[in-house]
Chain A
């Protein structure tokens, strides 16, 4: 890098003054001692500031947990935890409100499942192709190109699901409603392809060349090597990629809020409209819900449920990734 030279040069004079200073008088030595002292002080201060910055990331997690707990407590004072987890109806704005999270969980589950049915096979095939089949130049072009897909804001994907994918699906399924989980799930699946493919590819490429060469040496074809040697060795890494994909799909908000509708609906049929946990949070935030009401606190309860789900998956995925890194 260009800046290397001037920095190195500017460091030199200090070094050259060193021996001269040693022959010098006491005031000069005092001066150096003061310099060193000041230098060490700024070193300590800078270290402290940087530690504080790193520690602040822990404070964010604590902040999230604290907010979700504190703000959902008033909700659970009104609503029994057992009802929250088992009631089959979510109707917070009714005169006699019902708060059963199951319909929202069902919506989240179905959209996630549709997304995974798209993203896992396609993402895995792209990863295997890039890691085991594609020539180097193709990989260098395709990898950043697929990553562009993850640069598209999710609201644009939501627009795409509602305006392009749903009408296209309606030509095959004529009675498909405007808002449905199928379209939202498909687009969400396409959105998470790059996450799955790039993490899977990392896992596949972490498998040592020796294993592939052993397989080729035995006369195996590329495909046999890929599926019988490389994939089994990278399995925990692939699992980690899948789990992170699942956690993305569960937490995705705008696509489902735009395209899946905002009606809580306890169903497993992807052709129907339904509301996810994330879409509910958006729906309440869009309306004029007053601070301090049960409806206000209910978004924190929904958020806490979402947080517990994704945190569990992330911790598990992190553990799996650690494991495959250790393996070689």
Chain B
């Protein structure tokens, strides 16, 4: 190798090393931002995070305010969301992957789901406001909010279900058909069970997304100053009043945080940081669980 070639090779290797450093640097920028964000939240809000904060209603005074109403509201809304999006999403995913034959209708459904995933969340809020709040007269209620978020996260559940089903080899289906099973039996007894790991991952991610959504619920009409809880479904007399909580007005965690963030005083910003810690703890935990479930599901399957 003459000297000139050696020089060029050395330069190319240097470029490679430099780009590698650049790549690591950019990755670190992303991760460092996350670290600074978490650090700042903890630094500002951690001292505020006590039992009083978790169990108090909102208040005009920052130091006696809390997230009780918002936490209960978030739980109630997410329950409705899960009951809407999970069955609907799994059924739609199974249909698309196992039943649909290639054709115009199914192409439409497929393109449609891809597009729904890209619709900004605030537009789902407008859909909920127009459709659930005013057209169906459900009011600015937990039910309207839960249904809206259900529609919002539906594409996530559908896509996760389809991907999980796609990893199941064809010979599993063929073995079941060979024993005379109908399509529905194959789906119910085999496919849904083997895909459960992937589907649960998708469901957890979807719910974590729904918990963090703020904008659509502002549009639906979430309140931030609410000093009572929805009637408990366990205390209300069963058939007639057990579902009263669905009609209740509601506060949710991200909106409570938004309200405190947009106030001018420092005390309320500490409250905002504290509620941010709770919010992020919930969503990051859910995501960690999802990653764990996916990892376990992958490890346990040996076709």
Interface residue ranges, A against B (CB under 8 Å): 1-4, 7, 10-11, 14-15, 18, 39-40, 42-43, 46-47, 49-58, 60-61, 63-64, 67-68, 70-71, 122, 125-126, 128-130, 133-134, 142, 144-149, 151-160, 162-164, 190, 193-194, 221-224, 226, 244, 247, 250-254, 257-258, 278, 281-282, 285-286, 291, 299-300, 303, 306-307, 310-311, 313-315, 317-318
Contact = CB atoms under 8 A, between A and B. Distances in A.
A129 B37 contact: no
Interface of B: 12-13, 15-16, 19-20, 22-24, 26-27, 29-31, 33-34, 36-37, 40-41, 44, 87-89, 91-92, 94-96, 99-100, 108-109, 111-116, 118-127, 129-131, 134, 151, 154-155, 158, 176, 179-185, 187-190, 193-194, 196-197, 208, 211-215, 218-219, 221, 254-255, 257-258, 261-262, 269, 272-273, 276, 279-280, 283-284, 286-287, 291, 297, 300-301
Given A14-B179, A221-B12, 14 more contacts: A1-B197, A4-B194, A11-B179, A47-B95, A64-B123, A70-B130, A134-B23, A151-B286, A153-B283, A251-B123, A253-B120, A299-B219, A303-B123, A314-B115
A3 B41 CA distance: 43
B135 to A, nearest CB: 8
Interchain residue pairs A-B with the least CB separation, the first 8: A129-B23, A251-B120, A153-B212, A53-B91, A67-B130, A50-B95, A221-B12, A253-B215
Given A39-B182, A43-B183, A250 B120 contact: yes
A318 B123 contact: no
A317 to B, nearest CB: 8
B44 A163 contact: yes
Given A47-B183, A193-B30, A282 B219 contact: yes
Of A53, A190, A299, A311, chain B has the most CB atoms within 10 Å of the CB of: A53
Given A160-B37, A318-B111, A129 B19 contact: yes
21 contacts: A7-B190, A39-B184, A43-B182, A53-B88, A54-B96, A60-B151, A70-B130, A129-B23, A129-B24, A149-B34, A152-B284, A156-B257, A158-B261, A222-B16, A223-B15, A247-B118, A254-B258, A281-B122, A282-B218, A307-B123, A318-B111
B31 A145 contact: yes
Contacts of B114: 314, 318
Given A126-B26, A153-B212, A61 B187 contact: no
B256 to A, nearest CB: 10
B175 to A, nearest CB: 9
A285 B121 CA distance: 14
Interface core residue of B16, B194, B208 (most chain A CB under 10 Å): B16
B33 A190 contact: yes
Contact of B126 (A60, A299, A317): A299
Contact of A58 (B88, B109, B134, B269): B109
Contacts of B22: 125, 129
